Amino acid sequence: MTTARLDALAAGVLRRRGARPVPATLLGFPGSCCLSVNDEAVHGVPGARRLRPGDVVKIDVTAELSGYVADAATTVVLPPASRRAVSLAACSRSALAAALRSARAGRPLAGIGRAVEAEVRRCGFHVLRELSGHGTGRTLWEEPSVPNVAGPGGEILSEGLVLAIEPIISARPDRVVLAPDGWTLRTRAGSLAAHVEHTIVVRSSRPLVVTAAS
Amino acid sequence: MVSIESPADLAGMRAVGRVVGETLRELRQAVHRG
């Protein structure tokens, strides 16, 4: 399967449900979803690339329906996969779970990044520090930024706040660079990357994960 | 910054979240099918 074919599937699913792909409609992104493979961390452009056994595929979907926006991503490792690739994807999921446990009304926003960074370190992997989560709900990127690393931010999470929390991690210490296509952010040194994301509503108890069907 | 302030807001977020989640699930299954 090519990434273009996967993107066409996404376009069809969204259309049948009456939703619009936000990257295409709002940003002019050349696709209905972002598909990033192996060392591509985020914002990969769908195209002729054929997915192969062992690939680490990041699928990122953002849609608008009736004026509301949600954003979610997952990492799929195609068998037969290396143990390291499987561990990297599992770490991204456990980092997201740790972040969700920290996202409570009355707690500091910085606790989310602290939780992600601690879990990723525990797994022996690395946060791609330039990339972060964000507020969402009415458009794609809104305040506040939600870093994936510990920071000094003193902002306190409030009941009802809508956030997209998204650990984006790499197998080795690395940074991201913009690919020649002008969209894809890939790791500079070619490290494998993983990415998971949910849109949540902050509450005093555990958050409401509105994209949980993924 | 968006904060849920009404039942309509919550319903709207649940609805779009369901669409995004279901779309991701379908894409993940398609990738595995090849």
CA–CA gap between residue A60 and residue A24 (Å, rounded): 13
pTM: 0.96
Answer yes or no: do B3 and A162 touch at CB < 8 A: yes
CA–CA gap between residue B33 and residue B23 (Å, rounded): 15
Q: Is pLDDT above 90 for A35?
A: yes
Nearest-Cα residue of chain B relative to residue A161: B3
Q: What is the mean pLDDT of residues A12-30?
A: 96
The beta-carbon neighbor of B16 closest among A10, A64, A144 is A64
HSE of A106, CA atoms in CB hemisphere, 13 A: 4
Mutation target vs B (from A201, A204, A209; most B CBs, 10 A cutoff)? A201
The beta-carbon neighbor of A70 closest among B10, B17, B34 is B17
ipTM metric: 0.96
CA–CA gap between residue B6 and residue A145 (Å, rounded): 24
Tell me the shortest Cα–Cα distance from B5 to chain A, in angstroms. 7
Q: Is pLDDT above 70 for A37?
A: yes
Q: What are phi and psi of A114, to 5 degrees?
A: -60, -40
Q: Is pLDDT above 80 for B1?
A: no
Answer yes or no: do A68 and B16 touch at CB < 8 A: yes
In total, the C-beta contacts within 8 angstroms joining chain A to chain B are: 133
Q: What is the pLDDT of residues A80-130, one digit of tens each?
A: 999 999 999 999 999 999 999 999 999 999 999 999 999 999 999 999 999
B34 touches A: beta carbon within 8 Å: yes
Per-residue three-class SS string for chain A: CEHHHHHHHHHHHHHHCCCEEHHHHHHCCCCCCEEEECCEEECCCCCCCECCCCCEEEEEEEEEECCEEEEEEEEEECCCCCHHHHHHHHHHHHHHHHHHHHCCCCCECHHHHHHHHHHHHHHCCEECCCCCEEECCCCCCEEEEECCCCCCCCCECCCCEEEEECCEEECCCCCEEECCCCCCEEECCCCCEEECEEEEECCCCCCEECCCCC
* CATH number for domain A3-209, candidates 3.30.9.10, 3.30.930.10, 3.90.230.10, 3.30.420.40: 3.90.230.10
CA–CA gap between residue B9 and residue A81 (Å, rounded): 41
Q: What is the pLDDT of residue A194?
A: 98
> What confidence category does residue B34 fall into, taking pLDDT thresholds of 50, 70 and 90?
confident
- Give the Cα-Cα-Cα angle B15, B19, B25 (nearest 5 degrees): 140
> Is-contact A211 B21, C-beta < 8 A?
yes
DSSP calls for B5-33: -SHHHHHHHHHHHHHHHHHHHHHHHHHHH
Share of chain A above pLDDT 90, in %: 94
Sketch the domain layout of chain A as residue ranges: 3-209
Q: What is the pLDDT of residues A122-177, one digit of tens each?
A: 999 999 999 999 999 998 888 899 999 998 768 999 999 999 999 999 999 999 99
